[in-house]
Structure formats: structure tokens, C-alpha cells
Amino acid sequence: MRFTIYTLVDITETNTRRGEDNFKHKQHQNYLTVMQTIGLRVNPTYISPPSVSKETPSKIGLGKNYKNKQNIWKYTFDVEYEGALDTETLVNDFNLIPIIDNLEETVKFDLPQFITKNPDKNNIIFRIEDK
């Protein structure tokens, strides 16, 4: 099964280590947070690094409070077994997970966390690309 994550949180995969570029290290920490949260349930199969584009958040299902075009990261991954993961589980697992903000995001968050259960403030959503 293939899943896609859309988020307003900077989850750029930089592979930067502590002691190197601090800014890039923080970006990579958010990416690792995503991978580790998914990894609580399944071993995701890596497809490609997250990409970023400018889009209107509410048009793709992110929080209604986020207006105009914003940086939105898209990350796609596969899971080996059908039914091993679903969007409801991801919503529950990611809600209120801490993030590092003030990176390349173009929005400000009330609190530095993934929000999945507030239609006005959702900063991450999940889609199944195939069934």
C-alpha cells in the first residue's frame, strides 16, 4: 500500500548530523520524527525524499486557518502488507507529536506539534494512494 503525507511542517531530509549545520540538522530531526512515528506500526519502504511546493493548504485538506499559498511538504512511502496501516491510525499516532518549528515553514504554529484532529489547525494529513 502506498501512503502520502502532506504537511506544513518542514520535514526536509538533509542527512545532516549533530555538530554540522544546525539548521539542516533540525530539518532532518523532523524527518526522523515522521519516520519513527510511522515505524511504531510498520517498516515503511522508502520511495524518495520529501518534496516541497507552494500550495493552498485548505485545497488539499490541511487546516482551514492556513490561507494563501504556503510551503507544503509531500512525502510518499509504501508499506509491505495491505491493511497493516490506515489513515485513522496515522491520525491518532501523529496527533500532538512534538516538532521543531521556525525552519522553512511559511506558517506559524500555536504549539510546536503535529496537529491531526483540529479541522482549523491540522498541519499534517494522510492519504492512501492505492488500495
The total number of structural domains in the chain stands at 1
Q: How far apart are the first and last CA of the chain?
A: 6
Q: What is the pLDDT of residues 37-79, one digit of tens each?
A: 999 999 999 899 999 999 999 999 999 999 899 999 999 999 9
Q: Distance between CA 63 and CA 80 in Å, rounded?
A: 30
Domain extent for 64: 2-128
| pLDDT over 80 (residue 130) | no
| Percent of the chain clearing pLDDT 90 (strictly above) | 89
| pLDDT over 60 (residue 131) | no
Q: What is the pLDDT of residues 99-110, one digit of tens each?
A: 999 999 999 999
